Amino acid sequence: MKLIDLFGGGGLASWGFQNLGIEALAAVDISPAACSAYQANFPNSAVFQDKVSNSISRLCAIAPLDCLLHLSPPCQSFSAAANINRKKVRPSIASEIDASIELIRQIKPLLISLEEVPRFSKSAEAEKLRLVLWKLGY
């Protein structure tokens, strides 16, 4: 099985999946530092320094039928330690969750995993994601 890691950061989730025998195929993150770290940790993986919304076609082109899709949505605006105006950040998170849903619809991954952040799990974005996944049979 191969892994596509959305909002992959430096690859901690991918590292855990690798220890289970799942190969890191690709990752997406907007942070240059995170992408550099991910590429160093997984030199054979495709790394897209971009938004998920801008990476859908590239991911669709390489996604195998039996892939695992992992999402670690940006949690800064949901973190208890956040010092930012949540209303300014959430629209970009919402659009990236929408893009993740579109990717799921297109590649139909065998498995989906989601990093859990307590405040995110109670958000409208998380509820929308859960509803769509349920409707798609996950």
Tens-place pLDDT, residues 55-99: 999 999 999 999 999 999 876 666 665 545 554 445 478 899 999
In the chain, the DSSP E strands lie at: 2-6, 23-29, 46-49, 68-71, 111-114
pTM of this structure: 0.88
d(CA 67, CA 31): 24
DSSP structure string for 39-63: HHH-TTSEEEES-GGGTHHHHHHH-
Q: Alpha-carbon Rg of the chain, whole angstroms?
A: 14
